[in-house]
Amino acid sequence: MKIVIAAALALFSTAAVANPFAPPERFRGEPSVRYIVIPVPLSEMPKRCGQKPNPLAPLMGCAYTMRKPRLCVIHIPTRSFPNLTLSMFLYPVITPRMVLEHEKGHCKGWPANHPK
Ligand SMILES: [Zn+2]
């Protein structure tokens, strides 16, 4: 019984922190550069991020670094939304926190083409 509970706890804690959009380990955590986080409705995300809307792959967020003053600007969705990517069966909902972790990776230098 103890083993079952431990396994259940391990599963639960993994589910609580897992993020299919997380950057590779070396780009995780707090950026050393100053950053601000701007919540944006999903429908406005392409405009705010300077991209064309793509109905097949809705833009979830973006980050860019200003030079003067040096500041990383992060856009995240205002609320959770259904996951339409291939990981939808494992993660049916994408939360603003998941997107924030991803975008902070870009503030830390993770290239836009998402190398592993
Ligand atoms: Zn990205």
Identify the pLDDT of residue 84. 86
Task: Give the start-to-end residue ranges of the domains of the chain.
Answer: 21-107
Asked if residue 96 has pLDDT above 60, the reply is: yes
Mind listing the pLDDT tens digit for each residue in 48-72? 999 999 988 889 999 999 999 999 9
- Kindly state the tokens that stand for 52: 């064309």
Can you tell me the mean pLDDT for 8-37?
80
Residue 69 Cα to ligand 1 middle (Å): 22
Higher-scoring residue by pLDDT: 88, 105: 105
Residue 56 Cα to ligand 1 middle (Å): 16
Asked if residue 7 has pLDDT above 80, the reply is: no
Question: Residues with Cβ < 8 Å from 32, sequence gap 6 or more?
Answer: 108
Asked if residue 111 has pLDDT above 60, the reply is: yes
Residue 11 Cα to ligand 1 middle (Å): 27
